[in-house]
Chains A and B, each alone.
Chain A
Amino acid sequence: MNALPWTILFSFAGAILALVAGTRSAALARRVGLVATLAGLAATLLAATRFTPGPGLQTVLDLPWIPQLGVRCHLAADGISLTLVVLTGIAATAGVLFSWNIEERAGEFFALYLTLIGGVYGVFLSADAFLLFVFYEIAIVPKYFLIASWGSTNREYGAMKLVLYSFAGSALVLGGLLWAFAAAGGRSFALADLAAAAARFPRGDQLAMFGLLFFGFAVLAGLFPFHTWAPTGHVAAPTAASMLLAGVVMKLGAYGCLRVAMPLFPEALAWWQPAIAWLAIAGILYAGLVALVQDDFKFVIGYSSVSHMGFVLLGLAAANPQAVGGAVLQMFSHGMIAGLLFAVVGRIVYERTHTRRLDALQGMPLHRLLPFGAVVFVLAGMASMGMPGFSGFPAELAILIGTWKASPIWALFAAAGILVAAAFTLRVVQVSFFGRTASASDPAPANEYPFAPVTWPEKAGAALLLASTVLIGLRPDLLLDWINPALQSPLMQAALRGGPP
């Protein structure tokens, strides 16, 4: 378990090294990036092998930091944190692999990327609310530069919108956090202490504080109707950034809801529950229906991320162990799947065809010209649809079970959402890769489309993500055995009282 702080360290150190390496050559910067992310992944896997699942956070590091503000540098992890940390490790490594072709200002790119990763690791490992917030904010600014400097469609607007929404959400969180801290006596930011004190706050204050905290975090998770930054921003971002943003950074918001907002104010959660659930459902269905009519390849994937995060938020809102466990599993699963989808769209297809318009792609027999991409995209699409055998299925099943316990109507809408997801995913697979299958024996017009061959980093990245999603699809107990005990901790139990009476 003590390997975990190294993840943060490797990321930030790697960022500085990458910056320096970039002045020598882009290739060196890439290698530094890969080494840093692999080291982080190794640390997470090492910690995972030594982890004994149990309720409550297991402290990894606890040092005094700012006594005047009651802040400690307190890193701890339970099964939920560990799941998400492993997700980060895998997604980060895959992102670096899919950025192997970045030539311009590569050192800065990987430095910003690794800073973002370091912030993400920090959020998942913090047990002190202040520290969590600090890492949360550290992760914001690199996003702007990654998108604005290396992005594509509408990048400056997309970057600004994404960052301002993220920052606005974190402003709400800061307000709620400071208010709770002050009302608790202003002595400590430890989550346990805040929760103990919060139970004695006046009810109106609790409702307001929960509202600030939950909705502040939920903005980053893409809760409807505060989700509009996500499709624009993810489309504008370069491939690795999109993979990370949709795959991991959106999970920061959901994690914040789960780790901070819900345990601190369980009664407020019960009061806000219907509103959150209906907004989540609205997001699932609205984003899915919008994805059905997009004609930019990447926008479909961007909206699909919002739709999948709606499932996560619905699971959290249902607030019972099944649903929340499913939500965490869905966070992991969607991280892999979003990574795969964006990787195919951005790196495998767009870098070669230079178009993302579906009507243009429809005219190319892509399944013949990019067979590797076709296979990966079909598998990723199946996973995105929640097809059994892939990680999305046990996650969505658990969420459905838990949501049904809370309210059958919500579960019905969620099932409808699964159908919508199947429809738009199948449509985009069909139109993009299999648009021109006029005759199975049509010879491939290779001269008309001279595409670069698939490189080893692309294969490695895709293999890594696909293996993860299939492994968890067939053996979800690997993660559920970590997650479920973590939901037994006193803090979580207070929040998960089994849905409305």
Chain B
Amino acid sequence: MSNLPLLSLLVFLPWIGAVALALLPRLSEVAQRRLALVASLSTLAVALALLSGFDPARTAPQFVEKHAWIAALNVYYHLGLDALSLILVLLTGLVAPAALAASFRSGGFRGFAAFFLTLQGAALGVFLALDFFHWFIFWELSLIPAYFLIKIWGGPGATRAAYQFVIYTLGGSAFLLLGFASLFSAAGTFDFQQLAQLGADGSLARKLGGDGSWLPQAVFLGVLLGLAVKVPLWPFHTWLPPAYAEAPTGASMFLTGVMSKMGVYGFLRILWPIFPRELQAAAPWLMVLALGGVVLGAWAAMRQTDLKRMVAYSSVNHLSYCLLALFAVAHASGKGGAVSEAATAALSGTLLQMFNHGLSAAALFLCVGVLEKRSGGRRGLDDFGGVRTVAPFFAALTGVAMFSSLGLPGLNGFVGEFLIFRGVFGLAPWAAAVATLGLLATAIFLLTFWQRVFHGTVAGATPGFRDLTLAEAAPLLPATALMVILGVYPQLLAGLINPLVTAWAGHLTPP
């Protein structure tokens, strides 16, 4: 088992599925669905195998695969898995098949599934690559399938939304690329771990431009820009609401569940380790931006009447919590002492929030998708009423997802948010205070959603609303179960990430 290149398999199995779908046009619909689902579930299978062999106490990457590739550019094919990667891989393994299953009935399923599986493999690659060259390949390759998924299967404004999405992200990527080009010209390597070592002891800044030079800051900004657009960090978020809203349900689920985590992952894996001092210096400003995302994202969600856009803005809000925690930790690094405990809490909260938000947001999009389908295309806040009475099963499932997103204690969303607030309060109390506004707004819009759509008199498109069949609910059930389990027993996840997070907080710069 340990001889198998598990990580490579993880990435390539979905791609093999995509190629198979592309090259076999005469498969029956049922066969297509089965093939796609198997390819997607392979991720979960391999992830579980990895989980069984994973040792949380070792913080260095495990299951490492490293081969020489392009000698002229000192590039290695380097994959590795630590706790951060593992939970994101598990998340992908859970969200992707669900999203795929939710799209079984869409027209042109073969094309949809081929693009989707390509996207899945690329996302996994991002979480596993430890050398910029192929990390960037995976990062960029995820864009094109996403573009086509939105454009071809999306709503009326899909073309513009997809174009904006790709161009924004590519724009950021261009500066990310430039940043790494300069890093290579200074350090001669693309390897994240080596660069992190150089960044930790300060020699990287010296190599980039020496004392007094603005070059290290410029490079930092470039890399920051590329990652910030992807998360997204306010104010680089304007591409997100249209893209999420116009995308078909399955794509929205994956976009919010997995793709948005790619950005946060980038901050944790790349920006913070390689540029600790620059991040510390920029942290106050960045915290303001993160707060902007928290508060303004939630307030904007409050004012939406389109349910999909509401959930999209709420994603901005939830992801900004993760970044807020990270920036607060970076801001406080170097102060030592009791800070370390708060930092541990903040970082744990970030990782847990990533996983939990992925589940709950994906589930929410699925539910909104069901609403849209049942009503023949309407998804406004005022288009429904009293769904609880005609579809109690559906309402129950949506309720779990919604309250998880709200952060109700007992569901998984609470743990992450609580830890983040606890950590940020210990590191930068003012930020925590401002962030509570976001909590308030989130509560308001989610409860409004719940109230208007599910409670009250039966109105709008609700008459004739059939409840969910078991087959339709199947994609939702595992996530819902996890949301409950992890809410009650968060140790399942926390146990995996604790050693890593403690190590990060201990150095206040990750290894």
Contact with B along A254-285 (1 / 0, CB 8 A): 00000000000000000000000000000000
Q: CB-CB contacts of B458-486 with A at 8 A, as 1s and 0s?
A: 00000000000000000000000000000
Closest to B179 in A: A415
Contact yes or no, B152 A434, CB < 8 A: yes
Measured CB to CB, the nearest residue on chain B to A417 is: B174
Q: Hey, which chain A residues are within 8 Å of B147, CB to CB?
A: 426
Does A356 touch B at the CB level, under 8 Å? no
- Name the interface residues of B170-199: CB closer than 8 Å to any CB of A: 170-171, 174-175, 177-178, 181-182, 184-185
Q: Which of B70-78, B325-333, B421-429, B430-438 lies on the face that meets chain A? A: B70-78
Looking at the complex, which of B135-143, B259-267, B312-320, B399-407 is the stretch in contact with chain A? B135-143
CA distance A378 to B147 in the complex (A): 12
User: Which of B147, B153, B166, B185 has the most chain A CB atoms closer than 10 A to its own CB?
Assistant: B185
Question: Which chain A residues border B111 with CB–CB below 8 Å?
Answer: 440
Q: Which of A373-388 contact B (CB under 8 A)?
A: 378, 382, 385, 387-388
Across the interface, which residues of B come within 8 angstroms of A475, CB to CB?
69-70
Asked if A415 and B177 sit within 8 Å, CB to CB, the answer is yes
Query: Which A residues are in CB contact (< 8 Å) with B139?
Result: 388
Task: Name the segment of A207-215, A241-249, A400-408 touching the other chain.
Answer: A400-408
Q: Determine the chain B residues whose CB is within 8 A of the CB of A419 once the complex forms.
A: 167, 170-171, 174
Stretch at the interface among A39-47, A175-183, A476-484: A476-484
The answer to whether the Cβ of A35 comes within 8 Å of any Cβ in the partner chain is no
Q: Contact between A477 and B136 (Cβ–Cβ < 8 Å)?
A: no
Interface residue? B218 (CB, 8 A): yes
Which residues of the other chain, A, contact B167 by a CB distance below 8 angstroms?
419, 422-423, 426
Residues of chain A within 8 A of B73, CB atoms compared = 394, 397-398, 476-477, 480
Counting CB contacts under 8 A, is A427 at the interface? Answer: yes
Assuming the contacts A440-B107, A477-B70, asked whether A387 and B144 have C-beta atoms less than 8 A apart, the reply is: yes
Is B159 engaged at the interface, CB distance under 8 Å to the other chain? yes
Q: A322 — which chain B residues lie within 8 A by C-beta?
A: 185
Instruction: State whether the Cβ of A220 lies closer than 8 Å to any Cβ in chain B.
Output: no
Q: Is B163 an interface residue (CB 8 A)?
A: yes
In whole Å, how far is A423's beta carbon from the nearest beta carbon of chain B? 5
User: How many residues belonging to B are interface residues under a CB distance threshold of 8 Å?
Assistant: 39
Chain A contacts for B141, CB-based, 8 A: 387-389
Give, as a whole number of angstroms, the nearest-CB distance from B154 to chain A: 9
| Any B CB within 8 A of the CB of A412 | yes
Q: Is residue B305 contacting chain A, with contact meaning CB distance below 8 A?
A: no
Q: Is the CB of B185 within 8 A of A401?
A: yes
A404 & B181 in contact (Cβ 8 Å cutoff): yes
Whether B185 contacts A418 by the Cβ 8 Å rule is no
Q: Does any Cβ of B come within 8 Å of A196's Cβ?
A: no
Q: How far is the CA of A183 from the CA of B369 in the complex (A)?
A: 79
Residues of B with C-beta under 8 A to A398: 73
Q: Closest CB of chain B to A74's CB: distance in Å?
A: 29
- On whether A408 and B163 interact (CB within 8 A), knowing A394-B70, A415-B175, A477-B72, the answer reads no
In the complex formed, the residue of B with least CB distance to A396 is B177
Least CB distance, B489 to chain A, in whole angstroms = 41
**Interface of B (DSSP majority class):** helix
Out of A394, A423, A441, which one reaches B107, CB within 8 Å?
A441
Interchain CA distance A408-B108 in the complex, whole Å: 47
Q: Given A412, A414, A481, which contacts B72 in the complex, CB threshold below 8 Å? A: A481
Q: Say if the beta carbon of B106 comes within 8 Å of chain A.
A: yes
Cβ of B215 within 8 Å of any chain A Cβ, yes or no, is yes
Q: Which residue of the partner chain, among B140, B151, B152, B215, contacts A408 with CB atoms under 8 Å?
A: B215
* Nearest A-chain residue to B176, judged by Cβ: A415
- The minimal Cβ–Cβ distance linking A412 to chain B, given in whole angstroms, is 7
Alpha-carbon gap, A418 to B107, bound state (A): 35
Do A422 and B181 touch (CB < 8 A)? no
Q: Cα distance A408–B183 when bound, in Å?
A: 12
From residue 385 to 418 of chain B, which have CB atoms closer than 8 A to chain A? none
Given contacts A322-B185, A385-B170, A475-B70, contact A397 B177 (CB under 8 A): yes
Partner of B151, one of A404, A415, A427, A437: A437
CB of A463 within 8 Å of the partner chain: no
Contact status of A400 and B140, CB under 8 A, knowing A422-B167, A440-B153, A480-B70:
no
In the bound assembly, the distance between CA atoms of A430 and B167 in angstroms comes to 13
Chain B residue contacts of A437, Cβ below 8 A: 151-152, 159
B108 close to A411 (CB less than 8 A): no
Query: Taking A480-B72, A484-B72 as contacts, is the C-beta distance between A388 and B163 under 8 angstroms?
Result: no
| A439 interface contact, C-beta 8 A | yes
Q: Contact: A401 with B163, CB < 8 Å? A: no
B108 / chain A contacts, CB cutoff of 8 Å: 440-441
Chain A residues with CB below 8 A from B177, complex form:
396-397, 400, 415, 418
Q: Does A467 contact B (CB under 8 A)?
A: no
What residues on A are CB-neighbors of B134 within 8 Å? 388
Q: Which of A322, A385, A400, A441 has the most CB of B within 10 A?
A: A400
| Residues of chain A within 8 A of B218, CB atoms compared | 408
Residues from chain B with Cβ under 8 Å of A460 in the complex: none
Asked whether, in the complex, the Cβ of B137 is within 8 Å of the Cβ of A389, the reply is yes
Residues of A within 8 A of B182 (CB): 401, 404, 408, 411
- The answer to whether A471 has its CB under 8 Å from any CB of chain B is no
**Are B178 and A411 touching (Cβ within 8 A)?**
yes
Q: A401-B181, A408-B182 are in contact. Are A427 and B171 (CB under 8 A)?
A: no
Q: Closest CB-CB distance, B101 to chain A, in whole Å? A: 18
Distance in Å from the Cβ of B168 to the closest Cβ of chain A? Answer: 10
Given the complex of chains A and B, what is the CA–CA distance between A150 and B32 in angstroms? 46
- Which residues of chain B have C-beta atoms less than 8 A from A434's C-beta? 151-152, 159
How far in angstroms is the closest Cβ of chain B from A314? 13
Report Cα–Cα, A501/B316, bound state, in Å. 47
Docked Cα-Cα span, A322 to B73, in Å, equals 9
Cα(A439)–Cα(B147), bound, Å = 16
* Contact, CB under 8 Å: A388 / B137: yes
Q: A416 on the interface (CB 8 Å rule)?
A: yes
Instruction: Give the distance in Å from the alpha carbon of A398 to the alpha carbon of B72 in the complex.
Output: 10
A274 to chain B, nearest CB (A): 19
Q: Which residues of B contact A404 (CB under 8 A)?
A: 178, 181-182, 185
Verify A378–B144 contact, CB threshold 8 A: yes
Please name all residues of chain A whose beta carbon is closer than 8 Å to the beta carbon of B166 when the two chains form the complex: 422, 426
A388 vs B112: C-alpha distance when bound (angstroms): 22
**In the complex, what distance in Å separates the CA atom of A484 from the CA atom of B71?**
11
| Interface set, chain B 215-260, CB cutoff 8 A to A | 215, 218, 222
Q: Which of A325, A385, A426, A481 contacts B71 (CB 8 A)?
A: A481
B106:A440 contact, CB within 8 angstroms: yes
- B residues contacting A by CB (< 8 A) are 69-73, 106-108, 111-112, 133-134, 136-137, 139-141, 144, 147, 151-153, 159, 163, 166-167, 170-171, 174-175, 177-178, 181-182, 184-185, 215, 218, 222
A-B pairs with the 8 shortest C-beta distances? A441-B107, A388-B137, A480-B72, A400-B181, A415-B178, A440-B108, A422-B170, A440-B107
Q: 25 A-B Cβ contacts within 8 A?
A: A322-B185, A325-B72, A378-B144, A385-B170, A388-B136, A388-B137, A388-B140, A389-B137, A389-B140, A393-B136, A400-B178, A400-B181, A404-B178, A404-B182, A418-B174, A419-B170, A422-B166, A426-B163, A430-B159, A434-B152, A441-B107, A477-B69, A477-B73, A480-B70, A480-B73
